[in-house]
Amino acid sequence: MSEVALPVTNENVLEFYDWLFAPWVKEMGLQDINVSHGQAVAILPQNEKLQFSNGAICGQIIMSAIDTVASIAVATTDRLSKGTVYQHTHFLRPALSDNLRVEAQVLRFGKTTAFLETKVTYVSSEKLVAHASLEFAF
């Protein structure tokens, strides 16, 4: 992708993902990325490379997945974000034994910022693992 094709849609989300993010972000292994206006969802699969010795996915990985999926949600408009300016994450339970669903929703698009809420849940039980509030600059 030589230029950014905005807005990001389900047709170009993988191309956008490959263009924007660093190789180590892609190594998290996000899968099944789907978008709609102001929203993005992806699956973060369990992977021993992402886990502590107890088998739980590391918090830094979860925060990176949150930021990545939120960045994609912000890109569903015709404006490219300048990046994350704020992220606050609450961890509610260990990320053990199940893949994680990361869902970001833009609460408000403003002239210079966008505010998002992101939820991380177990795929099978839908129990909440983490919750985050984010702000992006334009």
Output the pLDDT for position 11: 97
Is 96:40 a contact under the CB 8 Å cutoff?
no
Number of domain units in the chain: 1
Helix axis angle, 13-20 relative to 59-74, nearest 10°?
Answer: 120
Output the pLDDT for position 1: 46
29 occurs within a structural domain:
yes
Query: In whole angstroms, what is the distance from residue 128 CA to residue 131 CA?
Result: 8
Q: Which domain holds residue 25?
A: 13-137
5 occurs within a structural domain:
no
1 occurs within a structural domain:
no
Output the pLDDT for position 2: 57
2 occurs within a structural domain:
no
Spans of the chain below 70 pLDDT: 1-3
User: How does pLDDT run across 95-105, given as a tens digit for each residue?
Assistant: 999 999 999 99
3 occurs within a structural domain:
no
Is 75:6 a contact under the CB 8 Å cutoff?
yes
23 occurs within a structural domain:
yes
Strand, helix or coil at 66? helix
Residue 108 is part of a domain; what is its CATH number?
Answer: 3.10.129.10
